[in-house]
Amino acid sequence: MAQARLHDILVIMPAWNEAESIGNTIREVFDFGPPCDVLVVDDGSRDSTAELARKAGATVIQLPFNMGVGGAMRTGFKYAKKNGYQQVIQVDADGQHDPRDIQAVLDGLKNADIAIGARFADKGDYAVKGPRKWAMNVLAWTISRISGTRLTDVTSGFRAANTKAMRQYVDHYPAEYLGDTIDSLVVAIRSGCTVQQVGVSMRERQGGAPSHDPVKAAIYLGRSGLALIFALTRKKSEPSSN
Ligand SMILES: Nc1nc2c(ncn2[C@@H]2O[C@H](COP(=O)(O)OP(=O)(O)O)[C@@H](O)[C@H]2O)c(=O)[nH]1
Ligand SMILES: [Mg+2]
């Protein structure tokens, strides 16, 4: 499973049935991103996602059953820690995260332990409307308060971490797809990790179908709210030193 580390930066790509876009997304990462290795974490795709990812030059971990994005990312962070990567960044397999922005998001790690590529900072025209937008605003406002920095897009998966944040995620990343981005972010902040937002332009999905429709997205955000409350009330943990 493990392949020798060639670079200090690891792109972690959670992927589920992304055969239509994954090959191209990986090639774009190599072409337009900084020198890096790419790890695809696939859990139970029924198409040729894993095979196409390997062909495009990624290392692939296939999990025996579906653990959702949260479980996939945790596997990725464990792999990064074990192999000595200095920086990791999540890039979605569907091409929504523009590989040209990877370096800018990683640059955010100069001032913080976690950097978030944020959609509405000031670039791009990716629109989210209605209840989903309101819910996202409430979450953003709340998490801005705890982090002490203004965040506008806390559900963005386009996130980078340094070694301190990586350790934190390995210890505490929630394994289920229950508000995974929000919950893990709040836990990391409460454990002493700092956050910085970087403005990026988000693209449309480059193929395939989103894993959730608008109704499911609304439910997801509702659950994120609950996850947020759990995370806020959970006992504060110290970052581990190993
Ligand atoms: N490993 C894994 N990846 C997933 C799963 N569900 C979604 N993904 C991946 O997570 C990323 C974001 O998912 P997507 O459906 O685009 O979510 P959206 O952008 O929020 O609509 C994509 O790369 C998906 O392939 C899952 O159950 N397991
Ligand atoms: Mg997507």
Convert the pLDDT of each residue in 108-143 to its tens digit. 999 999 999 998 655 555 566 677 777 778 888 888
Q: Does residue 175 fall inside a structural domain?
A: yes
Tell me what pLDDT residue 208 has.
Answer: 83
- The pLDDT of residue 177 is 45
Residues with CB under 5 A from ligand 2 (ion): 94, 96
- Confidence band for 236, pLDDT divided at 50, 70 and 90: low
Q: Which residues are CB-neighbours of 156 under 8 A, at least 6 positions away? A: 116, 117, 118, 119, 181, 202
DSSP, collapsed to helix, strand or coil, labels residue 199 as strand
- Among 92, 119, 180, 221, residue to substitute to test ligand 1 (most atoms within 8 Å of Cβ): 92
Structurally, the chain folds into a number of domains equal to: 1
Instruction: Compare 206 and 27 and report the one with higher pLDDT.
Output: 27
pLDDT of residue 240: 52
Whether 188 maps to a domain, the answer reads yes
Note whether residue 241 is domain-resident.
Answer: no
Is the predicted pLDDT of residue 230 greater than 80, yes or no?
no
Write the pLDDT tens digit of every residue in 57-90: 999 999 988 888 888 998 999 999 999 999 999 9
Judge whether 193 and 114 are in contact, CB under 8 Å: yes
78, part of any domain: yes
Residues 6+ apart with CB under 8 A from 166: 77, 80, 81, 85, 88
Q: Does the residue 72 lie in any domain? A: yes
187 close to ligand 1 (CB < 6 Angstrom) = no
Can you give the residue range of the structural domain that contains 75?
Answer: 9-233
Q: Helices in 89-204 by DSSP H: which ranges?
A: 102-107, 130-147, 163-172, 180-190
Is residue 4, in this structure, part of any structural domain at all?
no
In a domain, 13, yes or no: yes
Residue 197 resides in a domain: yes
Q: The domain that contains 97 carries what CATH number?
A: 3.90.550.10
Nearest CA to ligand 1 atom 19: 210
**Atom nearest to 210 CA in ligand 1:** 15
